[in-house]
Structure 1
Amino acid sequence: MDEASLERAVVVITGVMASGKSTVAQLLAERLPRAVHVRGDVFRRMVVSGQRERVPGGDEEAAEQLRLRYRATAATADLYAAAGWTAIVQDVVLGEHLEPYLAAIGTRPLYLVVLAPSADAVARREAGRAKSGYGSWTVGGLDHVLRDRTPRLGLWVDSSDQSPEETVDAVMGGLAEALVAG
């Protein structure tokens, strides 16, 4: 498979915070002739008041806000794909949220890429970032959700020792495995 198979498609890139989702999604979109980068975090930042932080064992309101964000990114991806764009969506979608999230996306073909660098690699990346994504979560705690509670769907890439460009190469080379629908 090649970039032509990504025309009018949706590619979901997920993983823990500091796994490289934003960078890889941007680079992948830049390689394609007609692509958009849908950033899930943008929808979280749109909430001006009343936002509930998603924390381990958090409340139902926080979970509903997360599901709303997922529906917004899925709908946005579908809108762009219907208009002839390839939508590269990146967000932290793990555990029990992954399958309902993928089901909310109607576009076919639908690809899933799970960035799964080691917890040590993520901790190093997080330490080197200007922003901190972990707050109430720990790297180990979220890594546990990724590895032990997230369905093994799509293409899983251990990008621990890869540059972002090498990870995009791995994604392009693994499109057949990444295809989850259509």
Structure 2
Amino acid sequence: MTTRTRLPGSPSIILITGLMAAGKSTVAQALTERFPRSVHLRGDVFRRMIVSGRAEMGFELSDEAERQLRLRYRIAAAAAHLYLHAGFTVVHQDIILGPSLAEVVQHYAPRPLHVVVLCPDPAVVAAREAGRAKRGYQDTSAVLDFDRVLRTETPRLGLWLDTSGLTAAETVDQILARLSDARVDGGSTG
């Protein structure tokens, strides 16, 4: 059963990030559904729009993959701004790890932003990955590589949630209850 939490009084942008199989899509959709006027902005859709010349994403990125990833982040932020201006709360969900998180926060300046980092235990991520139809990791060691980047190279911005033992609904309840902890000013990254 979901807890009734007071929603923010005005539209806002909530950025949800974390590893592949951390539950971003499920949590973002469930969170978006709690708002009366809302948009679930899936950052990966902008990658999939590239029909010809799309670079492969992985742990090691080529120069072209890095350029396309940065473009995807800029396009998503621009779309989020437009939806926000039209009166929607935007839940932008994407994989944004390492120093890129601070760069993406800058795309939202000067508007305030809420950043939520889902960081379940790597064993939980590996188990979730095993239960999914799509594959994001080649093996368990890849999960550990990405987890290391998350925990040691990603700036501690916003609200970090260990969702290892939480359902999607419980995670959404936590996000809404602690939304003030997730607030990051778009122009400030530290």
Q: Normalization by structure 1: what TM-score?
A: 0.94
- Contact conserved, 2:39 with 2:91, CA < 8 A, in 1? yes
- Structure number with the higher helix fraction is 1
Q: Does 1:66 align with 2:79?
A: no
173, 179, 182: which one aligns with 1:178: 182
129, 134, 137: which one aligns with 1:134: 137
151, 161, 168: which one aligns with 1:164: 168
SS, match of residue 52 in structure 1: coil
Match of 2:48 in 1: 45
Aligned residues: 181
SS, match of residue 117 in structure 1: coil
Offset, 1:138: 1.0
Q: Does 1:152 align with 2:152?
A: no
Q: What does 1:71-86 correspond to in 2, within 5 Å?
A: 71-86=74-89
Match of 1:118 in 2: 121
Offset, 1:55: 2.8
What runs of 5+ residues in structure 2 fail to find an aligned partner? Answer: none
Aligned residues with identical type, % of pairs: 51
Comparing 131-140 with 98-107, which one deviates more in the overlay?
131-140
94, 100, 103: which one aligns with 1:100: 103
RMSD between aligned alpha carbons? 1.6
Q: Aligned partners of 2:17 and 2:160: how far apart in 1?
A: 10
Letter in 1 for 2:92: V
Q: Aligned partners of 1:126 and 1:117: how far apart in 2?
A: 12
What runs of 5+ residues in structure 1 fail to find an aligned partner? Answer: none
Q: Aligned partners of 1:51 and 1:166: how far apart in 2?
A: 36
3, 6, 21: which one aligns with 1:2: 6
Letter in 2 for 1:140: L
- Contact conserved, 1:10 with 1:107, CA < 8 A, in 2? no
Runs of 4+ displaced beyond 6 Å = none
Match of 2:25 in 1: 22
Q: Aligned partners of 2:58 and 2:167: how far apart in 1?
A: 30
Match of 1:143 in 2: 147
Q: Aligned partners of 2:159 and 2:32: how far apart in 1?
A: 17
Offset, 1:107: 6.2
Offset, 1:83: 0.6
Offset, 1:52: 1.0
Q: Normalization by structure 2: what TM-score?
A: 0.90
SS, match of residue 66 in structure 2: helix
